[in-house]
């Protein structure tokens, strides 16, 4: 897709959601980054992607659930517009711990391959959409990404009011002003346990609600 078309899609996404971007720390740039955000709407990744500067947007790929984006217009938009990484939701279709583990390992491999040497990712570590009232406990995938790629920045992004624009179970968006607040990169330590890393990441994201 051409640079001009991608910019047009971004303008439409911003117009539809009324979203504004706020940088509580440094502005996004082309350094490799994993943007992790709260998840309340199918519009979430499009909103984050749309407020990024154009040169950053060109290198940033959202991670999305394959079962929702796998067919028709949705798949066309995911693959050809957003260059999304489509992954299976662990626990959605697998039976037994061994099968879930294989699915999780496969998803991690896909994300690492998508990152490569220059791309960034948008992910939602809660694993599923919430109500927008609270941020659920993070799944462990964020930690394992950090273990494999500690050189990549991990930046929290808090989304406000997206659950009111396209709430769970609704089809048509409702015009509401929304905001994406970008925080400072995590300062994780190499000796951090999975629990410590995920708790710190969760706290960093939740802190942006008041930023």
Give the separation between CA 152 and CA 190, rounded to whole angstroms: 13
The answer to whether residues 22 and 158 touch, using CB atoms and an 8 Å cutoff, is: no
Whether the per-residue pLDDT at 141 is higher than 60: the answer is: yes
Output DSSP code: residue 53: -
How crowded is residue 67: how many other Cβ atoms within 10 Å of its Cβ?
13
Give the separation between CA 25 and CA 27, rounded to whole angstroms: 7
What pTM was computed for the model? 0.86
Please name the residue ranges forming H helices in the chain.
Answer: 3-17, 44-51, 54-57, 66-69, 72-76, 97-115, 141-148, 162-165, 194-207
Return the pLDDT at 169: 57
- Residue by residue, what is the 3-state secondary structure of 145-187? HHHHCCCCEEEEEEEECHHHHCCCCCCCCCCCCCEEEECCCCC
Per-residue pLDDT of 94-128, as tens digits, reads 566 777 788 888 899 999 999 999 999 999 999 87
- Residues ≥6 apart with Cβ < 8 Å to 131: 40, 163, 168
Return the pLDDT at 152: 96
Confidence of residue 20 (pLDDT cuts 50, 70, 90): confident
Confidence of residue 61 (pLDDT cuts 50, 70, 90): very high
**Highest mean pLDDT pick, 38-52, 98-112, 136-150, 152-166:** 136-150
Whether the per-residue pLDDT at 170 is higher than 70: the answer is: no
């Amino acid at each position: 897709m051409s640079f001009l078309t991608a910019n047009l899609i971004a303008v439409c996404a911003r117009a539809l959601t009324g979203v504004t971007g706020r940088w509580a720390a440094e502005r996004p740039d082309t350094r490799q980054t994993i943007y992790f955000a709260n998840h309340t709407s199918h519009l979430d990744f499009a909103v984050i992607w749309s407020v990024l500067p154009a040169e950053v947007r060109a290198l940033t790929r959202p991670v999305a659930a394959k079962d929702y984006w796998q067919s028709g217009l949705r798949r066309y938009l995911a693959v050809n517009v957003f260059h999304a990484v489509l992954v299976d939701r662990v626990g959605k279709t697998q039976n037994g711990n061994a099968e879930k583990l294989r699915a999780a390992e496969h998803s991690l491999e896909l994300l690492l391959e998508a990152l490569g040497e220059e791309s960034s990712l948008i992910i939602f570590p809660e694993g599923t959409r919430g109500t927008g009232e609270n941020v659920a406990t993070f799944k462990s995938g964020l930690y394992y990404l950090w273990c494999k790629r500690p050189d990549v920045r991990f930046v929290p992004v808090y989304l406000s009011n997206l659950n009111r624009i396209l709430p769970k179970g609704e089809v048509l968006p409702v015009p509401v002003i929304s905001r994406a607040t970008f925080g400072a990169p995590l300062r994780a330590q190499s000796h951090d346990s999975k629990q410590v890393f995920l708790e710190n990441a969760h706290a960093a994201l939740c802190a942006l609600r008041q930023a």
